[in-house]
Structure 1
Amino acid sequence: MLHFFISFVIFAQVFHIFGSVPVSQQTQVSPIQADGYVRTPGIGSHKIHKQATTWNRARIICKEEGGYLAVINSRPELQAILNLYGSSKPHNGSTDSNHILLGFHDLFEEGHFVTVHDEPLTETGFNEWYDTEPNNAFGNEDCGALVFHGKLNDISCDKPFAFACEIPEVNEASSDSFSHNIHSINIRRIIEPQTMSPSFLTTFFLVIAKIFIIDASLIFPPQRTQEIRSDYRYTPGIGGHKIHDNVAKWRDAQTICEEEGGNLAIINSADEADVIRRLFRESPYHQGSTHSGYALIGFFRNTEGDNFLTIHGEPLENTGYFRWQPTEPNNLYGDEKCGSIGRDGLLNDISCEKKFGFVCELIDPNIPSVSLSNVA
Structure 2
Amino acid sequence: MGYEYVPEADIWLRLHIVPADWQEARLRCHLEGGVLASPSNSALTKAMIDMMSSKELIMKKIFTGIQAVVAKGHFMTIDGIPLSNLSLRWADNEPNNANNNEDCLTMNGESEVADANCADVCPFFCAKKSSKMTVNKCGTTDDEYHLEPRTGSCYKFHQLPRTWHQAAGACFSEGAHLAIINSPEESQVLKELFAKYPQNTLRVKYPHVAMIGFWDWNEHARNGEWLTIFGETLAAAGFSTWSANEPNNAFGIEFCGSIVRDGLLNDFECNTSAVFICERERAYK
TM-score by length of 2: 0.47
Whose radius of gyration is greater, 1 or 2?
1
More helix by share: 1
TM-score by length of 1: 0.36
